[in-house]
Amino acid sequence: MARNKHPERTRARILDVAKRLFLTKGYDGTTMQDIVDSLGDLSKGAVYYHFKSKEAILDAIGEEDQSRHDPTAINDTGLTGLDKLREAFRRSAADNEHMRLMNMAYPAMHDPKLLAANLKVWRTQVADMFEAMIREGVADGSIDTAYPREAAELLALLTNYWLVPTFYPATADELHHRVEALAAVCTGLGVPILDKDLIETVSRGYTALI
Amino acid sequence: MARNKHPERTRARILDVAKRLFLTKGYDGTTMQDIVDSLGDLSKGAVYYHFKSKEAILDAIGEEDQSRHDPTAINDTGLTGLDKLREAFRRSAADNEHMRLMNMAYPAMHDPKLLAANLKVWRTQVADMFEAMIREGVADGSIDTAYPREAAELLALLTNYWLVPTFYPATADELHHRVEALAAVCTGLGVPILDKDLIETVSRGYTALI
């Protein structure tokens, strides 16, 4: 195999091509050979050199997608903590590609080990991230809550687990109603993130997962 | 081995003796031999005939404890749906033996398979049970909520998972604050189960799990 002078560029190309195939043919409908064929100029061995399996490619696509949706990256000057949180939810739910990628990863979570690992991330890193944004809102006066940590933990758990029809099966109407219930939960905690507009956007986003 | 004419009675005696040992010496500190010794008149083989392992004994104790705490069994005439729910929480949290048995079972849930199985029970059977009680309250006018199913799902998930320090580590003060947050969540959903008294009782109950 010729020495690869730009491994990062090759890696990025593989992820790009695989993501396009996953989104058009579905994850299950795409083989490693399809990915090799679509790349055109790389051997199967070269692709396997970068990713040991199709699952590893999906994982890497998921990580890239996650970092693109890191809400702490929302830095528009002038936004309050509450508005940043709302913007984070809006961007994530309105990004059709993001929701379809999430959808692709969710069936894997029927594997108890993966589910347990994700639950751990939701109750630690993701909760920490939400807490930082809520505390920003408390500091700038846009959020008035006695429960910054609790609200953060619940936001992380409920948006990643409870809203997801893979775990809690639901019709589109039931999902809409569930998002309205989450809005009431947030209001009860003094962190009224989900206004009327956002309820619609978030409902539509999760409905794509049915 | 002499034929056992009263297998249910023997089974109940084994569970009784084992529970007493688990509660005094701890689950890890108790061996099958300790259980045999305490019974006095049964061989090790006879005990193993009824339960194939110490885990199986703990499981059976847990099932018995669960059925004793089936909140649908609260049938005192005159109680509204809301009061039945409150009574269910009060009985469960104030029952020191019940909380200590729960505590014994929780470490096992670091096993992802067990955790996934429990999460499934919480989002199906336990949620169904809470929903029935909430709908009873809606029918008798003691509860006014637009979210009977959602409140039931959240009560099941949050009381079994989020309040539990095995999963979400907490000091006694943090647990108390978390129970207050759950009270705000319930109020936000129109199902104000946790009044001031119950916040204290439930906090004390979960603090025993630290």
Q: Which of A149, A188, A190 sits opposite B189 (nearest CB)?
A: A188
Domains, chain B, ordered by start: 7-62 (1.10.10.60), 73-207 (1.10.357)
Q: Are A10 and A41 in contact (CB under 8 A)?
A: no
**Residue pLDDT, tens place only, A47-86:** 999 999 999 999 899 888 888 777 777 777 789 999 999 9
Contact call for B177 and A116, based on CB within 8 A: no
Contact call for B115 and A113, based on CB within 8 A: no
Q: Which amino acid is at A39?
A: L
User: Which residues from A are below 8 Å from B189, CB to CB?
Assistant: 181, 184-185, 188
- Enumerate long-range contacts of B59-68, CB under 8 Å, 24 or more apart: B60/B11, B60/B15, B61/B15, B61/B18, B61/B19, B61/B22, B61/B101, B62/B101, B62/B105, B64/B15, B65/B97, B65/B98, B65/B101, B65/B102, B68/B98
- pLDDT confidence band for A198 (50 / 70 / 90): very high
Q: Are B170 and B210 in contact (CB under 8 A)?
A: yes
**Residue pLDDT, tens place only, A130-157:** 999 999 999 999 999 999 999 999 999 9
pTM of the model: 0.87
Task: Select from A131, A161, A175, A185 the residue whose CB has the most chain B CBs within 10 Å, as the one to mutate to test that interface.
Answer: A185
Q: What whole-number distance in Å separates Cα of residue B160 and Cα of residue A193?
A: 26
Q: Are B191 and B79 in contact (CB under 8 A)?
A: no
Q: Which of B119, B167, B185 sits opposite A185 (nearest CB)?
A: B185
Mean pLDDT of chain B: 91
User: Which residues from A are below 8 Å from B117, CB to CB?
Assistant: 112
Q: What whole-number distance in Å separates Cα of residue A38 and Cα of residue A35?
A: 5
**Residue pLDDT, tens place only, B113-128:** 989 999 999 999 999 9
Q: What whole-number distance in Å separates Cα of residue B12 and Cα of residue B112?
A: 30
